[in-house]
A and B are shown apart, each in its own frame.
Chain A
Amino acid sequence: MSCKLVGCMIALVGILLVAACQSDESLEFKRYYSSGALVYQQHCQNCHGANGEGLSALIPPLSDSGYLKKNLRLLPCYIKNGLKGRIIINGKTFEDSMPADDLSPVEIAQVLTYIGNSFGNKLNTINEQSAQKNLADCR
């Protein structure tokens, strides 16, 4: 019985140590990423797919890291105001429009953190402040 108790305590201390070792940064990332997964399911997945694969030549995939990086500051605007016109993703042209989705700045930051770190992408955390700043610059 006491043996079991000691074992439990050691395990608990272990878990606490691991948790303490995680930097604030990675905690922030995890928070944004896991909330972003839910936002993605509710607002993006029908069109862009569970694996960000898009739909043939109708809906672009979300796996073009180069495009995401290059347009990082514009992405919050694209989500909030929609996107019209011709874009090139993974070397293919897409020209249908994406409807606007009135998400809050924090939701936009969460979903961009999720997309930016799924489907083969590796971007940094996009936090609420930076999303808000970029949204203020939307044309």
Chain B
Amino acid sequence: MRNTLIIALTAILLWSACKSGSDKKALPIYGNREPITKMVNGRQETDTIYQTIPPFKFVNQYGDTISNKTLNGDIYVVDFFFTTCPSICPIMHRNMLKVYETFKNTGNFKIISHTIDPKHDSVPVLKKYADKLGITGNKWWFLQGKKEEVYTLAEKNYLVAVKQDSSASGGYIHAGYFVLIDKQKRIRGSYDGTDPKQVDELIADIKTLQAEPDQEIVQ
């Protein structure tokens, strides 16, 4: 009887140890990195410079200018879409709605959807789309800007493939990734926005990121 109790207790302890261990995992930091060496108080110290999202400037569905500075101090999720997209966009935004619902009342958090078809997706078109999706306030922005800038940002900085292709349905091929950016503007995760399971992971990872101690914010 006593032995059984001890075994049971040990099992519970082991299980809870494993559990708390996995809860505390830190998210990886993606992208290029380079070490820099500098002299601090006469001693040599090595630091790492991580790849960050460079300056940008776009307009949101309300016609407001949104730049990288507007997002200072925010954790945000980015995706690329177009309003007339017949393939993966509806499923992406059905899943993104879940992220929106989970965090819409949370501070220092944003969702950014860049249109890759700025010619069609004007500010009024994006506003109408947001309205129909049921998005209000300033938690989820739909951004419009110069096509080349959006494409470069997608491929070079958020590491998401985007391409115009008349043979693809809707005229564009693009990957349905949701990219998670931290307060220091570093990439911390990339999730298939068409897969509800990966979107659940994203939601869990945002919570992990929110619990990370604040560090010095770049720029």
Chain-B contact segment, one of A3-11, A26-34, A50-58, A108-116: A50-58
Query: CA A49 – CA B87 in complex, angstroms?
Result: 12
The CA-CA distance from A55 to B88 in the complex, in Å, is: 13
Which listed residue (B91, B133, B169) contacts A56, Cβ 8 A? B133
Interface bits B164-207 vs A (CB < 8 Å: 1, else 0): 00000100000000000000000000000010000000000000
What residues of chain B lie closer than 8 Å to A104, measured between beta carbons?
none
* Bound-state Cα–Cα, A61 to B91, Å: 14
Residues of the B chain whose Cβ atoms lie less than 8 Å from the Cβ of A55: 90, 93-94, 133
A14 within 8 A of B: no
State whether the Cβ of B97 lies closer than 8 Å to any Cβ in chain A.
Answer: yes
Q: Does B129 sit within 8 A of A, measured CB to CB?
A: yes
Contact of A46 with B132 in the complex, beta carbons under 8 Å: no
Interface size for B (C-beta < 8 A) is: 15
B138 to chain A, nearest CB (A): 19
- In Å, the complex CA distance between A49 and B169 comes to 19
User: Out of B94, B131, B134, which one reaches A49, CB within 8 Å?
Assistant: B94
Interface of B is mostly: helix
Q: Is A39 an interface residue (CB 8 A)?
A: no
B133 touches A57 (CB 8 A): yes
Chain A CB count within 10 A is highest, among B90, B93, B169, for B90
Question: Chain B contacts of A46 at CB under 8 A?
Answer: 86-88, 90-91, 194
Q: CB-defined interface of B76-100 with A at 8 Å, one 1/0 digit per residue?
A: 0000000000111011011001000
**Cβ-neighbour of A57 out of B90, B91, B93, B132 (below 8 A):** B132
List CB contacts (< 8 Å) of B124-146 with chain A. 129, 131-134
- For B131, the chain A residues whose CB sits under 8 A away are 57
Pairwise interchain contact B129-A58, C-beta atoms closer than 8 A? yes
Bound form: Cα–Cα A46–B81 in Å: 14
A89 CB–B CB distance under 8 Å: no
User: Is B133 a contact of A58 with CB atoms below 8 Å?
Assistant: yes
Q: Is the Cβ of A47 less than 8 Å from the Cβ of B132? A: no
Among residues 9 to 52 in chain A, which have CB atoms less than 8 Å away from a CB atom of chain B?
45-47, 49
Is there a chain B Cβ closer than 8 Å to A59's Cβ? yes
What separation, in Å, do the CA atoms of A57 and B135 have in the docked complex?
Answer: 11
Bound complex: CA A47 to CA B90 (Å): 5
Name the CB-closest residue of A to B91: A46
Most chain B C-beta atoms within 10 Å of own C-beta, residue among A46, A49, A57, A59: A46
Q: Residue on B with the closest CB to A96?
A: B132
Interface residue? A99 (CB, 8 A): yes
Contacts of B93 in A (CB 8 A): 55
Kindly list 18 other residue pairs between chains A and B, CB separation below 8 angstroms, not including A46-B90, A59-B90.
Answer: A45-B91, A46-B194, A47-B86, A49-B91, A49-B94, A55-B93, A55-B133, A56-B132, A56-B133, A56-B134, A57-B132, A57-B133, A57-B134, A58-B90, A58-B132, A58-B133, A96-B132, A99-B169
Enumerate chain A interface residues (CB-CB to B < 8 A): 45-47, 49, 55-59, 96, 99
Sampled A-B contacts (29; CB under 8 Å)? A45-B91, A46-B86, A46-B87, A46-B88, A46-B90, A46-B91, A46-B194, A47-B86, A47-B90, A47-B91, A49-B91, A55-B90, A55-B93, A55-B133, A56-B97, A56-B133, A56-B134, A57-B131, A57-B132, A57-B133, A57-B134, A58-B90, A58-B129, A58-B132, A58-B133, A59-B90, A96-B132, A99-B86, A99-B169
